[in-house]
Amino acid sequence: MGYEDEDFIVRQAKQMGELLGGIMGKKDAEALLSFGNEAKTSDLKEQDFDFRLTTLEDVPAIGVIVNEAKQYLKEQGSPQWQDGHEPHEGVIREDMRKKASYVLTLKGEIVGTAALIAGKDPVYEAIEGKWQGDQPYVSLHHVAVSQKYRGIGLGKTLLTASIKQSQALGFEDIRIDTYPANKPMLSLIDKLGFTYCGMIHFPFEHGERKAFQLIQRLA
């Protein structure tokens, strides 16, 4: 198939996306149909990504990604990260102080962020349920990816990199939580092999979260 044929298909797909957008809403249509530049990201390789500690220069880009995620959650009707409970700049800087804040880059562009926070978390310790063991653990918090590249699996790439880095830091026990109605995150957590352990409650309205654990023995 030549380039002219590909361009025709892309044009047709975009027209279908516009039609679906009028019926389903723009966000849902975009989620269903990811064409154009996003369709070509299948050529991306592992070496195109880097997962590294956050620097001060990264903070503005992280703020953009967090605000995009916050707006997306709001559009989905989720109370998660609303009313000032998102990981704002002060939170990110505190994560940096702990050397816990990381960014995922794609060919040098920041496309995701996560915090790998080691040590006992009082909220996690008060779980309504039961963790598997009481070994040292790292918690994955403040996870967000760029909405610019929706549909290319950034969430999976980010969490996979977070898991690998947690293991590189010497942790076999990795924990994570999410709002009960956050279906995309719940699906991703399940696909990556986490086990549901119970409910935790952060001390604010809509602070309930499903908590999960992944235990992978170090080599």
Domain ranges within the chain, ordered by starting residue:
1-43, 48-215
Per-residue confidence (pLDDT) for residue 84, from 0 to 100: 84
Return the higher-pLDDT residue of 175 and 205.
175
Structure tokens at 138: 């790292």
What confidence score (pLDDT) does residue 15 get? Answer: 52
* Predicted local confidence at residue 129, as pLDDT: 97
What is the percent of the chain with per-residue pLDDT over 90, rounded to a whole number? Answer: 65
Q: What is the pTM of this model?
A: 0.79
In CATH terms, is domain 48-215 a member of 3.40.630.30?
yes
Higher-confidence residue: 19 or 165? 165
In whole angstroms, what is the distance from residue 31 CA to residue 82 CA?
A: 22
Q: Is the pLDDT of residue 57 over 70?
A: yes
What was the pLDDT predicted at 72?
A: 87
- As a whole number, the mean pLDDT across the chain is 84
Residue 59: which pLDDT band, with cuts at 50, 70 and 90? very high
Structure tokens at 46: 């592992």
**How far apart (Å, rounded) are the C-alpha atoms in residues 96 and 93?**
5
Task: Report the pLDDT value the prediction gives residue 159, as an integer from 0 to 100.
Answer: 97
* pLDDT over 90 at 42, yes or no: no
Is the pLDDT at 25 greater than 90? The verdict is no
Choose among 137, 148, 154: nearest CA to 216. 137
The whole-angstrom separation of Cα 219 and Cα 216 is: 9
- Asked if pLDDT for residue 52 goes beyond 80, the answer is yes
Q: Which letter, b or e, does each residue of 194-213 get, where b requires 16 or more Cβ atoms within 10 Å of its Cβ? A: beebbebeeeeebeebbbbb
Res 10: pLDDT = 42
Task: Please compute the mean of the pLDDT values over residues 11-23 and round it to a whole number.
Answer: 48
**pLDDT tens digits for 165-201?**
999 999 999 999 999 999 999 999 999 999 999 999 9
Comparing 204 with 36, which gets the higher pLDDT? 204
pLDDT, tens digit, for every residue of 131-153? Answer: 999 999 999 999 999 998 888 89
